[in-house]
Amino acid sequence: MSILHSTPSLEELSIIDSLITANSKSPITTTFISSLQRLRQDGIYTQVLVPPLRSLSLEYKGKAFDDAAFVTMISSRWLPDPVYAATVGVDCIRSVDLTFLSCPVDKTVYQPLRYLDGMGLMVVIAGVKAPNSA
């Protein structure tokens, strides 16, 4: 994550963890996802990693993904009112692409993002087919 701290103007981020060597851990962790979330603590918003992020693309090869943290993070960055977004210092995320390379998608967990998709957020969530699915 240290490289992201040194690129504060980054608007598009793509991480493909299947390209990482077998001896390395995936950078796509709950800690990473949470660092992108706009949090409110005691009425004050904390500084987020990569405030101008508008497009996020993740390809995840693992099986233990924190779906709830991801949905919460994306929801926290959906700020379609530019005046409000400027006030809190975080750009509105406009595009999200999450691909699971080793597991199916639990569509129920991602339903809140489908609602945001209907309001203008471009959302693609994909995974391998579940066993016994057509």
What is the Cα–Cα distance from 119 to 126, expressed in whole angstroms? Answer: 20
Domain for residue 3, yes or no?
no
Domain for residue 100, yes or no?
yes
Contact 111, 74 (CB under 8 A): no
Tens of pLDDT, residues 24-67: 788 999 999 988 998 766 666 677 889 999 999 999 998 889 99
Domain for residue 134, yes or no?
no
Domain for residue 95, yes or no?
yes
How many structural domains is the chain composed of?
1
Q: What is the pTM of this model?
A: 0.88
User: Which residue do the tokens 């993070």 mark?
Assistant: 73
Domain for residue 132, yes or no?
no
Residues of the domain holding 106: 11-40+50-126
Summary mean pLDDT of the chain: 88
